[in-house]
Chain A
Amino acid sequence: MTIQKPLIISLLYLLSIGYTYAQEHTQEEKAQAFNPSETIIHHILDTHDWHLTDIPGKDANGQKVYHSIALHLPWFFYDGGFHFASDTEALLEKGYVPYHDHLYKLKSGIEATDLRIAHGEVEGFDPERMADEHAHVIDLSITKGSLQMLIIGLLLSMVFIAVARSYKKREGQAPKGLQSLLEPIILFVRDDIAREYLGEKAEKYTPYLLSLFFFIWFSNLFGLLPINSNIMGNISVTAALALLTFIIVQVNGTKDYWRHIIAMPGVPTAIVPLMTVIEIISLFVKPFALAIRLFANISAGHFMVLSLVSLIFIMGDGGKSIGGALGIMPISILLTLAILALEMIVAIIQAYIFTLLTAVFIGMASESHDDHH
């Protein structure tokens, strides 16, 4: 209990910060025609509001509207100095407008009388007319994806610190419980990925490879659940992981490794300049491919699931044709279940491939001279 208590307290603290800002969205949205591409894009992209659900109700005139329940995450950005806004309405009052993934500062004379509709998108904002060109605002806020990453990090810490403690407590005994569940997987990463491709240097990199594997796997699995955010479907996250791989590979490159890139021995001198260019390009393409492979696989799965579910709404003509919706429903739901099952397999396979290629690149870069020739 001694390790878990502070972790549980920090998790509760994190959730309570979000809860303080959870408000019932007083701006109701009328039942609009269903726009599939907009809905799909909205579900894939990262937002500053964690939208939980919509509750149908009636407004003052008796019209049917939807009250949306969302956690409004605070804004934290840098514009000369650090600024803080508790949600998007407060941000508009401060004179900054988020529009199309960019934070604009309003010109001095213009007031923010824009409407906020469609889950937090700002309408009626014209960047050319209303934005201050000289301001460069850097957005540093904790968005839905960042918060999800923190939660998964906390979950990973709790799980693995518990497993480590039970290894210490049960030294010499058979594993039990969570430890016995994770032991085959941990040993698989250590033996078949780290020791296989890194040889004697495996001990140095095994912690990083294990963290990478379990972070990617858990993120992919949690992204499949409703309400959660899909962090590996965000190119920034996969690019950051690929950048870490790139840095580790370059820092651990031996002289042999650089020799093979700049002027590969055993090649006729006429071709050496061409080989150098190709090798330098491949130096950057390999981590880039890592990032895109993970991003595209996970995004494609989510895209397919969202498209299949949207089929029901398209066939039901946005709520007008119940027969159409009921007709397509069995097919759509069966296909969605099949794709979700495939996505669960893809979750662990992509984690395995990312970790495997990282180990292979590190192994190739840090090979000592005797192993090769």
Chain B
Amino acid sequence: MENIGLIGAGIGAGLAAIGAGIGIGRLTASAVESIARQPEMAGDIRGAMILMAAFIEGVALFGEVICLLAVFK
């Protein structure tokens, strides 16, 4: 019973990864679609996509940091 916190940490890390996956997946889907519609804007769209992916990943990593804290305390 004393290690029940580890279950919570594992589930939390998995959920954070799912959140990042969904967010970046949707972002990439619209980015690729708009590149297909207007190929000459590919450079701008690619730049915006990479920047926003880093922000979304940042949010997911906040969750991961909390889970790490739960494991190592």
Residues of A within 8 A of B (CB): 41, 289, 292-293, 295-297, 300, 345-346, 349-350, 352-353
Q: Which residue of B lies closest to A345 (CB)?
A: B50
User: A300 touching B55 by the CB < 8 A rule?
Assistant: no
Q: Which B30-73 residues have a C-beta within 8 angstroms of A?
A: 50-51, 54-55, 57-58, 61-62, 64-65, 72
User: B54 touching A349 by the CB < 8 A rule?
Assistant: yes
- Starting from the known contacts A296-B65, A353-B55, 5 additional A-B residue pairs (CB-CB under 8 Å) come to A292-B62, A300-B61, A346-B54, A349-B51, A353-B51
Q: Which residue of B lies closest to A41 (CB)?
A: B72
User: B64 touching A296 by the CB < 8 A rule?
Assistant: yes
Residues of A within 8 A of B72 (CB): 41
User: B54 touching A350 by the CB < 8 A rule?
Assistant: yes
Tell me the interface secondary structure of chain B in the complex.
helix
Q: Which residue of A lies closest to B72 (CB)?
A: A41
User: B50 touching A297 by the CB < 8 A rule?
Assistant: no
Residues of B within 8 A of A350 (CB): 54
Among all A-B residue pairs, the 5 with the closest Cβ atoms: A296-B61, A293-B58, A349-B54, A296-B65, A353-B54
User: B58 touching A296 by the CB < 8 A rule?
Assistant: yes
Residues of B within 8 A of A297 (CB): 54, 57-58, 61
**Cα-based distance from A350 to B58 in the complex (angstroms):** 10
Most A Cβ at <10 Å: residue of B50, B54, B64: B54
Residues of B within 8 A of A296 (CB): 58, 61-62, 64-65
Most B Cβ at <10 Å: residue of A289, A293, A345, A346: A293
Least Cβ distance of B24 to chain A in Å?
13
**Cα-based distance from A300 to B64 in the complex (angstroms):** 9
Q: Jot down 20 A-B pairs with beta carbons below 8 A, ordered by A.
A: A41-B72, A289-B58, A292-B61, A293-B58, A295-B65, A296-B62, A296-B65, A297-B57, A297-B58, A300-B61, A300-B64, A345-B50, A346-B54, A349-B50, A349-B51, A349-B54, A350-B54, A353-B51, A353-B55, A353-B58
The listed residue (B55, B57, B65) touching A292 by CB distance below 8 A is B65
Q: Which residue of A lies closest to B50 (CB)?
A: A349
